[in-house]
Chains A and B, each alone.
Chain A
Amino acid sequence: MTSDKAFQDFLSEAQETVENLNRTLLALDAGKVDPDLVNDAFRAVHSLKGLAGLFGVGRMASLSHTLENLLDSLRLGRVAVSAAILDLLFEAVEIYGRLMAAVSEGRPADSPEVDGFVARIEQAARAGARAQTQKRQDLALDPSILSVLSEYEEHRLRENLAAGRTLFRVHAAFDLAGIDHGLDELKARLKPLGEVITYLPTPDSGDGEGIELDVILATDAHHPAVAGAVGGRAEVTELVAGRAPLAAATGARAEEDATLRSVSRTVRVDIRKLDHLMNLVGELTLARAGVQGVLEDLRGEGHLELARRLQQESRVLERKLDELQSGILEVRMVPLGQIFDKLSRVVRRISRDAGKEIRLTISGADTELDKLIVEELSDPLMHVIRNSIDHGIEPTDVRRAAGKDETGTIWVSAQQRGNHVVIEVRDDGRGFDEDRILETAIQRRLIDAAQAADLSRRELLNLVFLPGFSTRERASELSGRGVGLDVVKTNIARLSGIIDVESTRGKGTSLIITLPVTLAIIQALIIRAAGRSYAIPLNSVLETITATRGEVKTIERREVLTVRGQTLALARVEQALDVARAGPTPERMYVVVVGLAQHRLGLVVDDFVGQENIVIKSLSGPLNAVPGIAGATELGGQQVVLVLDVAALVEESLRGEEAA
Chain B
Amino acid sequence: MMAQPRGIIAPVPHRVLLVEDSPAMRSYVAAALETDYEIVGVESGFQALQALPNGHYDLVISDVHMPDINGLELAKFMRSSPTYRKVPLILISTEGSDRDVGRGLELGANAYLPKPFSPAALRELVKRFVET
**Chain A interface residues (CB < 8 Å from chain B):** 1-3, 5-6, 9-10, 12-14, 43, 46-47, 49-51, 53-56, 61, 68, 72, 147-151, 176-177, 179-180, 183, 198-203, 208-209, 211, 257-261, 263-264, 268
Contacts and interface: CB of A to CB of B under 8 A. Distances in A.
A176 B50 contact: yes
A1 B118 contact: yes
Contacts of A14: 24
A199 B73 contact: yes
Given A147-B107, A203-B81, A208-B82, A13 B100 contact: no
Contact of A264 (B43, B55, B83): B43
B97 A150 contact: yes
B68 A1 contact: no
20 contacts: A1-B119, A3-B27, A13-B24, A14-B24, A49-B94, A50-B93, A50-B116, A53-B94, A53-B115, A54-B28, A147-B103, A150-B97, A151-B99, A176-B53, A177-B50, A183-B68, A201-B73, A201-B74, A261-B50, A263-B47
Contacts of A43: 65, 67
B106 interface: yes
B110 interface: no
A183 B42 CA distance: 17
Contacts of B83: 203, 208
Interface string B81-96: 1111000000001101
Contacts of B82: 203, 208
A259 B51 CA distance: 9
B31 A3 contact: yes
A208 B81 CA distance: 8
A150 B115 contact: no
A10 B43 contact: no
Contacts of A54: 24-25, 28, 115-117
Contact of A46 (B24, B45, B94): B94
A119 B31 CA distance: 36
Considering residues B24, B76, B103, which has the most beta carbons from chain A within 10 angstroms of its beta carbon?
Answer: B24
B31 A53 contact: no
A150 B24 contact: no
A34 to B, nearest CB: 15
Nearest to A68: B96
B80 A150 contact: no
Given A54-B115, A203-B77, A151 B24 contact: no
A642 to B, nearest CB: 44
Considering residues A14, A46, A47, A180, which has the most beta carbons from chain B within 10 angstroms of its beta carbon?
Answer: A47
Nearest to A3: B31
The 8 closest A-B pairs by CB, nearest first: A53-B116, A203-B81, A6-B27, A10-B24, A9-B24, A50-B94, A13-B24, A260-B54
Contact of A50 (B77, B103, B115): B115
B125 to A, nearest CB: 15
B82 to A, nearest CB: 7
B79 to A, nearest CB: 10
Interface string B4-48: 000000000000000001111101100100000000011101110
A96 B42 CA distance: 27
A151 B28 contact: no
B103 to A, nearest CB: 6
A89 to B, nearest CB: 18
Nearest to A178: B50
B53 A208 contact: yes
Contacts of A268: 23
B72 interface: yes
Contacts of B43: 263-264
A68 B94 CA distance: 11
A348 to B, nearest CB: 27
Contacts of A211: 49
Contacts of A208: 53, 81-83
Contacts of B51: 260, 263
B69 interface: yes
B23 A180 contact: no
A150 B96 contact: no
Contacts of B80: 202-203
A75 to B, nearest CB: 12
Nearest to A174: B49
B73 A148 contact: yes
Considering residues A51, A54, A176, which has the most beta carbons from chain B within 10 angstroms of its beta carbon?
Answer: A54
Contact of B100 (A150, A177, A260): A150
A179 B27 CA distance: 26
Nearest to B99: A151
A151 B65 CA distance: 11
Contact of B53 (A3, A9, A148, A209): A209
Contacts of B116: 50, 53-54, 56, 61
A157 to B, nearest CB: 14
Given A176-B50, A203-B77, A211-B49, 18 more contacts: A1-B118, A10-B27, A10-B28, A50-B22, A50-B93, A51-B24, A151-B97, A151-B100, A177-B50, A179-B50, A183-B46, A200-B73, A201-B49, A203-B81, A208-B81, A209-B53, A261-B50, A263-B43
B41 A6 contact: no
A207 to B, nearest CB: 9
A6 B72 contact: no
A201 B73 CA distance: 7
B96 A46 contact: yes
A176 B77 CA distance: 14
B23 A263 contact: no
A6 B53 contact: no
A185 B103 CA distance: 30
A533 B45 CA distance: 62
A13 B25 CA distance: 10
Contacts of B46: 179-180, 183
A55 B51 CA distance: 28
A208 B82 CA distance: 8
A12 B23 CA distance: 10
A202 B84 CA distance: 12
A176 B65 contact: no
A49 B54 CA distance: 33
A147 B41 contact: no
Contacts of A12: 24
B118 A55 contact: no
B103 A148 contact: yes
Considering residues A50, A183, A268, which has the most beta carbons from chain B within 10 angstroms of its beta carbon?
Answer: A50
Contacts of A51: 22, 24-25
Contacts of A198: 73
Interface in B104-132: 106-107, 115-119
Nearest to B42: A263
Contacts of B74: 201
Nearest to A154: B99
Nearest to A36: B67
Nearest to B51: A260
A201 B97 CA distance: 22
A68 B25 CA distance: 18
Nearest to A40: B67
Contacts of B50: 176-177, 179-180, 258, 260-261
B96 A2 contact: no
